[in-house]
Amino acid sequence: MQPTIKSKLPYAGTTIFTEMSVLAAEHNAINLGQGFPDFDMSPQLVSLVNKAMQAGNNQYVHMNGLPLLRERIAEKIEKLYAAKVNATNEITVTPGGTYALYTAFTTILQKGDEVIIFEPAYDCYIPAIELNGAVAVTIPLLLPSYKIDWIAVKEKINPATKAILINSPHNPTGAVIDEADIDALKAIVKDTGIFILSDEVYEHLIFDGKKHLSILKYPELYERSFVHFSFGKTYHCTGWKLGYCVAPASLTKEFRKVHQFNAFTSFGPTQYALAEFLQQENEYLQLGSFVQQKRDYFMQLMTETKFAALPSYGSYFQLYSYANITDEKEKDFAVRLTKDYGVTTIPVSAFYRQPTENKVLRFCFTKKESTLEAAAEKLLKL
């Protein structure tokens, strides 16, 4: 008799990102689906990693992250958000933002707990909740602006509610939260035991003069929060898989109990490099305007097509409606675009648990101008 596995994720298959990227490779399509830049990262940062390796910094760094890097992160947080966090016991460097989110869920969740998330949602959220024996309570964002329906949130709160997960700037829609959202969140969690998980990996990729409202800015929210960030998104090095989690000392203590028996630590040479590179503030302060230029350029190119742009105020992404083109389902149309027109996107229906069709696709515009031009030229043939 052969052993069998009772799947912990019976509804999960290969992610849509992998599926569409494989399809793009098969058909030699321009990949505007998966969220990664196709241009080079900073040569100086690459050189600093090489310098760290050559200097012999190739062994384990501290479990919680290189102390100097954590100090530099704390300095950055204070400058950006006027928040003082302790580098020693409130910051943990992790192998990516997704890992940090999973670790936070594992830290707080018990069987039967409920977590409120907003759809469309980054695809790792629900599996991370369910792998920990908890239940994802999904609330659809309000179209066409993809705003949070706080009335619906209040209706879903019950004694089993353990956490609320927010993501701003938002993947896949590019929406951002405002002060009204912060006020609503404060009111809902006040005098409760509800945790907040805040996915802020696109903190610097924010457009049109808007400000990133980090949970770190609000002490009454931060005291119950795990806040997650990504170096990969900030420095165009998604393959490094390096991020960090910021949480109050009591929460970080429990977070690190899980972390120490999983990854234990993160890749060392990049931490040495980033500790030095973080001192160059303009590298992240100018990121929003740099990426906004790409959003604007792609949007200009797309005006000649039959697609209609939905607002994007942050992230790598913009949603485009194809309601004027076809009645096809989103995935079917995305597959046809790849096979017949040579441009790969992501169907936004993939970011919902329940079947949802709004005739929108997600495009990654954080690419070279030549890539965006070539994609738009192909889409003009529709």
Tens of pLDDT along 304-317? 999 999 999 999 99
Do 269 and 305 share a domain, yes or no? no
Whether residue 301 is contained in a domain is answered as yes
Do 256 and 298 share a domain, yes or no? no
Range(s) of the domain holding residue 210: 43-280
Do 274 and 289 share a domain, yes or no? no
Do 217 and 127 share a domain, yes or no? yes
Residue 116, pLDDT score: 98
Whether residue 3 is contained in a domain is answered as no
Do 187 and 269 share a domain, yes or no? yes
Per the structure, the count of domains in the chain is 2
Whether residue 324 is contained in a domain is answered as yes
Mean pLDDT of the chain: 97
Averaged pLDDT for residues 163-177: 98
pLDDT above 90: residue 13: no
Averaged pLDDT for residues 315-326: 97
Q: Domain boundary at 253, 280, 307, which?
A: 280
Radius of gyration, CA atoms only, the chain: 21
Do 105 and 191 share a domain, yes or no? yes
Do 311 and 274 share a domain, yes or no? no
pLDDT above 90: residue 183: yes
CATH number at residue 110: 3.40.640.10
Residue 11, pLDDT score: 83
Averaged pLDDT for residues 262-286: 97
Quickly state the pLDDT bin for 14 (edges 50, 70, 90).
confident
Whether residue 364 is contained in a domain is answered as yes
Whether residue 245 is contained in a domain is answered as yes
Q: Domain boundary at 233, 259, 280, which?
A: 280
Quickly state the pLDDT bin for 1 (edges 50, 70, 90).
confident
Do 235 and 369 share a domain, yes or no? no
Distant-in-sequence, close-in-space partners of 55: CB < 8 Å, separation ≥ 6: 272
Residue 34, pLDDT score: 87
Whether residue 337 is contained in a domain is answered as yes
Neighbours of 223 (CB within 10 A): 13
Q: Domain boundary at 280, 295, 318, which?
A: 280
Whether residue 2 is contained in a domain is answered as no
Do 23 and 134 share a domain, yes or no? no
Give the span between the Cα atoms of 155 and 171, in whole angstroms. Answer: 25
Averaged pLDDT for residues 163-184: 98
Whether residue 71 is contained in a domain is answered as yes
Do 137 and 170 share a domain, yes or no? yes
Residue 46, pLDDT score: 97
Do 119 and 235 share a domain, yes or no? yes
Do 202 and 336 share a domain, yes or no? no
CATH number at residue 294: 3.90.1150.10
